[in-house]
Amino acid sequence: MPSTTDGSAILSPTRIRLALLALALGGFGIGATEFVAMGLLPNLAQDLLPGLYASAPDAANAQIGWLISAYALGVVVGAPTIAAAAARWPRKQLLLALLAAFTLATIASALLPTFGLVLVARFVAALPHGAYFGIASLVAADLMGPGKRARGVALVLSGLTISNVVGVPVITWIGQVYGWRVAYLVVAAVFAVTFLAVILLVPFQAGDPLATMRNELKAFGRLQVWFALGIGAIGFGGLFAVYTYVAPLTIEVTGLGAGAVPLVLVVIGLGMTVGNLLGGHLADKSVRRTLYGFFFVMIVALVGLALSAQFLPGLLIGVFLVGGAAAGLSPAIQTRLMDVSADSQSIAAALNHSALNIGNALGAFLGGLAIAGGLGYVAPVWIGAGLSVIGLVLAVVSFAIDRSRRRNGQHVPYGTDLIDIVRDAA
């Protein structure tokens, strides 16, 4: 573990652990703001779309799923834009600006009166998401030291996964009892506390003085960057096809009451916590084997869940394994992006969350189409299995290209290869 983060200040192990804890607390808040809507889907539909919910609750639940898609699309837009534009900023100051934006936009989500305005607020609240995780991952990797990048990423993401064990179920319960608007105000308070923690505990880290938006955007000229984004964007959709509609799946398919939804969310969160920590450890050993292994587990888990969701053990085991496999993929995809992005590290660290939230939007959208089409609440699970198969195929193809390049004697496989391919074809 390094003794400095800026070349001068010596940090004790305790100070490093506290700094990592502060960064993880931000992940806790992000997990809450992103996932709490999934457990409160019927509550949101009743309040924001009362007429539609009274006449067609399935259609209302599917439309409220747009709030989740809007958040995911906000991540997709905000992550590369903010990361590229602010790569020169001192990292601590950038984290504080992002946390302030989270706090204000989440308060707006809680207070705005109509579905359309809340939809816009959820999009705005998501803009800092990817940049926060990207910059926090770079800070954590620096604090952890060489050879422990994936574990540093996993520690930051542990806040998100622990949020799914504790924060999301508790805040979901608060939303069920006191209203979904109160739930979002609680989330805003978490962000405010994180803002103070980062001020007090995270050491100064300079931005990259050589970084420019043009250099950061060169990442999009690399074929393997696009493959890594596709692996996350499509493969991760398997989780969100299930997670978005976990409340109606629990109530309508398994036949449990609304009070069981927080329990199911705890089980998903436990799976995500275990999978994230295991994935970070394994990805430092082999990114390729980690991706293959967790995709296999995810596909099997989704098929098993689709076949057994009407039974309580099938539901709980299925969502635990789906959550665990998806969370195990995240640090591996993050590390893969950092590996293939060459000198565009800031945008690469953020792009992982753009990719995962494209998966979020894709899974929620396709699942909503299936439900609105009358296929039932198990249909999104089958859709998720198909998306995960495509993600695994993309991973296999990506690493096959690496092997082909090594056989051809290419020592540096990652450069502006997409531009080269287009130029050669022309």
pLDDT in tens, 90-140: 888 899 999 999 999 999 999 998 999 999 999 999 999 888 887 887 788
Strand partners, 10: 4
Q: Tokens in use for 154?
A: 């996993």
Per-residue pLDDT at 110: 93
Contact residues for 324 (Cβ-Cβ < 8 A; gap 6+): 271, 272, 274, 275, 278, 297
Contacts 24+ apart (CB under 8 A), 11-19: 11/143, 11/203, 15/201, 15/203, 16/143, 18/201, 19/139, 19/143, 19/201, 19/202, 19/203
Q: Fill in the amino acid letter for 342.
A: A
CA separation for the pair 163, 170 (Å, rounded): 9
Q: Fill in the amino acid letter for 280.
A: G
Question: By the 8 A CB rule, do 268 and 239 touch?
Answer: no
Q: Fill in the amino acid letter for 360.
A: N
CA separation for the pair 359, 381 (Å, rounded): 14
Per-residue pLDDT at 422: 42
Q: Residue 265's closest CA among 365, 204, 183, 208?
A: 183
**Which phi and psi (to 5°) does residue 284 adopt?**
-70, -20
Per-residue pLDDT at 409: 64
- Report how many helices (DSSP H) and strands (DSSP E) the chain contains, helices first: 20, 0
Per-residue pLDDT at 345: 64
One DSSP character per residue, 125-153 reads HHTTHHHHHHHHHHHHHHHH-TT-HHHHH
Q: Fill in the amino acid letter for 58.
A: D
Q: Residue 186's closest CA among 127, 107, 111, 128?
A: 107
For the beta carbon of residue 178, count every other beta carbon within 10 angstroms. 12
For the beta carbon of residue 56, count every other beta carbon within 10 angstroms. 14
Per-residue pLDDT at 373: 83
For the beta carbon of residue 148, count every other beta carbon within 10 angstroms. 18
CA separation for the pair 320, 16 (Å, rounded): 31
Per-residue pLDDT at 96: 94
Q: Strand, helix or coil at 10?
A: strand
What CATH number matches the domain at 13-425, 1.10.3720.10, 3.90.550.10, 1.20.1250.20, 1.10.357.10? 1.20.1250.20
Q: What is the pLDDT along the chain (426 residues), one digit of tens a residue?
A: 444 444 445 677 788 888 888 999 998 999 888 878 877 888 888 888 888 888 888 788 878 878 887 887 888 888 778 877 777 788 888 999 999 999 999 999 999 989 999 999 999 999 998 888 878 877 887 787 666 666 777 777 788 778 877 888 889 889 988 999 999 999 999 999 999 999 998 887 766 666 666 666 677 777 888 888 889 888 888 888 888 888 888 888 888 887 888 888 888 888 988 898 888 788 888 888 999 999 999 999 999 999 998 999 999 999 999 999 988 888 888 788 877 876 666 677 677 777 877 887 788 788 888 888 888 889 999 999 999 999 999 999 998 988 887 776 655 445 545 444 444 444
CA separation for the pair 247, 377 (Å, rounded): 10
Run of H or E residues at 425? helix 417-425
With both helix axes pointing from N to C terminus, report the angle between 115-126 and 91-111 in degrees, rounded to the nearest 10. 170
Contact residues for 420 (Cβ-Cβ < 8 A; gap 6+): none
pTM as predicted: 0.71
Q: Tokens in use for 211?
A: 């970084």
